[in-house]
Chain A
Amino acid sequence: MIELSDIRKVFNCGKPNEFTAVDGVTLSVDSRKITVLKGPSGSGKTTLLGLIGCMARPTSGRIHLTGRLTQGVTFSVEGTTAEVTSLPERFLTEIRRRAFGFIFQQFNLIKGITVLENVMLPAYPIGEGFKPLRERASRILSDLNLSGKLFAKVEWLSGGEAQRVGIARALINDPTVIIADEPTAHLDTKLSGEFMGIVERLKGDGKTVIIASHDPIVFDSPIIDRVVEMRDGRLSGGYQRR
């Protein structure tokens, strides 16, 4: 579970273009559930996603990780709760690498290298052996029906295929939490439906999923557990589905 306490994120502090993206958010994200952040663009959901996923440090407030997320963490731990707000980048990145997988709106695959290499990239700095890594990547890709595209260059993939490669990459380190930022923005209805199907499978595998979206296909989907609404950097409502 991820707990945020009065999180604020301010950019360009003290300068004329000071901007508060997230303004006092307190939120608990349950594990093994699908949570959707809903709100218009500029509402701060992308920034909040980054904070939840240990990509950025909040300007003020506290973030606590509990349960499975703290496995293997030997620092800042009391019992099974780890406070990650003032961790140095090295540790934050370690947690993020191990516990979180990201799927981006723009897919963000690296051009010029193959699908397989893209999927293996997040694990490079860990120093895992090349062969076991390759095998794992191949397995994940075949689970997503991409075995035929292992050595294809990413420029030649269709939108749906690229999205699935992004998902495969997010899964390479077997993370506990999957975070997706507007994942259906560049997909048509059919592919969006397929995407939600994959999300359902991930939930079935015991993963926690957090999606930021203003696409009804996502937030009206029957499989999601909770919707959190955001506006102007603050929470403005929300409801539990089940």
Chain B
Amino acid sequence: MQWLEKQRNIIDFTLSSLLRRKTKNIALMIVYTLVVFVLASVMFFAEAIKKEASIILRGSPEIIVQRLVAGRQELAPVGYIEGIKKIRGVQSVSGRLWGYYFEPVAGANFTLMVPEDGSEKGQIEVGKGILRSMRASEGDILSLKSYTGDWVVLKIKGALSSESELVSSDLILTSEEDFRNVFGISKEYFTDITLHVRNSRELATIAQKIKDLYPDTRPIVRDDILRTYDSIFNWRSGLLLVIMAGAGLAFIIFAWDKASGLSAEEKKEIGILKAIGWETSDVILMKFWEGTAISLSSFLAGIILAYFHVFFTSSTLFEPVLKGWSVLYPKFRLTPFIDEAQVMTLFFLTVLPYTVATIVPSWRAASVDPDSVMR
């Protein structure tokens, strides 16, 4: 009880002394919040995209088989499908058609694809990004130049949903016939082959069997894709963090400087406290609560702002970096995702260095001799 009262008293004094030095503390808190904000935005964005990717990929086929010639992807012959069907454990096999179409007017690459359940000839479903860049809408005509130079005329039946924009922004779903007409791919070939497997534990064995059967193929297991995406995003966000280490260091030096550079007023105040009966550990405790108040408010403010930034404004501040060359930038809303690991990580990247930077200066300030005010 006594301990609690003591904390209460000291916190009381700490808050009042923070308010008395508003300008200095506000400057520090703004920088602190900014640092947390940037780091948190990067982390939230990366984690949310990873989660999004994993959700999307859940629906993708367990194994995709690509044919490689001289290290490059080549069309897969239809005969492979028959061969793979015969492997024990394979539930279903089908050929998949997809490719890239370069549209010179928009200056963009469209992804043309034939959906699993087929599509009507002459009709296409188009991603929102394409509609925006071609200034087209439902019911309009979209003509694609085929490999012979002729035009394939297609009518836009509908748009792909906004929810799926992250992956469908540049997508055109078309019928098999139209696809083959545009790209000149004969009925003997598919772009790649997808298969569903009954027992997920057999993935490795089946993949090996496919490799044995057709040595010029590369079976890609879905989990490998997930892992690769995870790794890419880990690496990218980590790299950003490392690059920002310079800014982080500047912040730490700033914090250390602020903590060491006590004004004459502050020094006198601590001297008075020591003279009237506060022990060094009491002053250190006060400095601890000071640091906690600043850290806590900046940390929370930074996280809340970052949350808002990433999940409500779709990371507008990062847009230039993320967009890069792409012409078709999807308008997407990420599903808010924040977990304790992210918060702990952010804590270690911001509050920990700040605290460490202020330990020695706080102690030095608190170690003033009690009789200093008398001299």
Residues of A within 8 A of B (CB): 46-47, 49-50, 55-56, 89-90, 93, 96-97, 102, 104-106, 108-113, 117, 121-122, 124-130, 169, 173, 181
Is B280 part of the binding interface, using a Cβ–Cβ cutoff of 8 Å? yes
Q: Which of B329-375 contact A (CB under 8 A)?
A: 369-371, 373-375
Nearest chain A CB to B350 CB, angstrom units: 30
Distance to closest chain B CB from A102 (angstroms): 6
A129 to chain B, nearest CB (A): 6
CA of A109 to CA of B271, assembled, Å: 11
* 8 closest residue pairs by CB, A with B: A127-B6, A50-B371, A97-B277, A127-B2, A124-B9, A125-B282, A127-B5, A122-B276
* CB nearest neighbor in A for B265: A111
Chain A residues near B269: list those with CB within 8 A: 110
Chain B positions 1-18 with a Cβ under 8 Å from a chain A Cβ: 1-6, 8-10, 12-13, 16-17
Q: CB distance B20 to A112 under 8 Å?
A: yes
> A124–B6 contact, CB under 8 A?
yes
CB distance from A161 to the nearest CB of B (A): 18
Chain B residues closer than 8 Å to A90, beta-carbon distance: 279, 281
**Complex contact B375–A125 (CB within 8 A):** no
Checking A106, A113, A127, A169 against B276 with a beta-carbon cut-off of 8 angstroms, the contacting residue is A169
Q: Is the CB of A104 within 8 A of B373?
A: yes
Partner of A108, one of B8, B272, B375: B272
Does B273 count as interface, using CB distance less than 8 angstroms?
A: yes
Interface residues on B, range: 20 to 34
Are A124 and B278 interface neighbours, CB within 8 A?
Answer: yes
**Is B275 located at the chain interface by the 8 A CB criterion?**
yes
- A56: chain B residues at CB < 8 Å are 369-371
Kindly supply a per-residue 1/0 record for chain B positions 1-44, scoring 1 wherever the CB is within 8 Å of any chain A CB and 0 otherwise: 11111101110110011001000000000000000000000000
Q: Are B279 and A89 in contact (CB under 8 A)?
A: yes
Known A96-B277, A127-B5, A130-B5; contact A104-B374, beta-carbon cutoff 8 A: yes
Q: CB distance A127 to B9 under 8 Å? A: yes
Measured between alpha carbons, how far is A129 from B3 in the docked complex, in Å? 10
Shortest CB distance A219–B (Å): 19
In the complex, residue of chain A having the shortest beta-carbon distance to the beta carbon of B272: A108
CB distance from B76 to the nearest CB of A (A): 78
> Given A50-B374, A106-B373, are A173 and B5 also a contact pair (CB < 8 Å)?
no
Query: Please, how many angstroms separate the alpha-carbon atoms of A127 and B278 in the complex?
Result: 12
Q: Give chain A residues whose Cβ lies under 8 Å from the Cβ of B374.
A: 46, 49-50, 55, 104-105, 181
Closest A residue to B21 by CB, please name it.
A112
From B6, B273, B281, contact of A121 by CB (8 A) = B273
Q: Write out the residue numbers on chain A whose beta carbons fall within 8 Å of the beta carbon of B273.
A: 110, 121
B8 and A122 contacting across the interface, CB-CB below 8 Å? no
Q: Given A47-B371, A113-B16, A173–B272 Cβ distance below 8 Å?
A: no
Residues of chain A with a CB closer than 8 A to B265's CB: 111
* Least CB distance, A211 to chain B, in whole angstroms: 13
Rounded to whole angstroms, the CA-CA distance of A126 and B373 in the bound complex is: 22
Residues of B near A50 (CB, < 8 A) are 370-371, 374
A130 touches B279 (CB 8 A): no
Q: Which residue of A lies closest to B367 (CB)?
A: A89
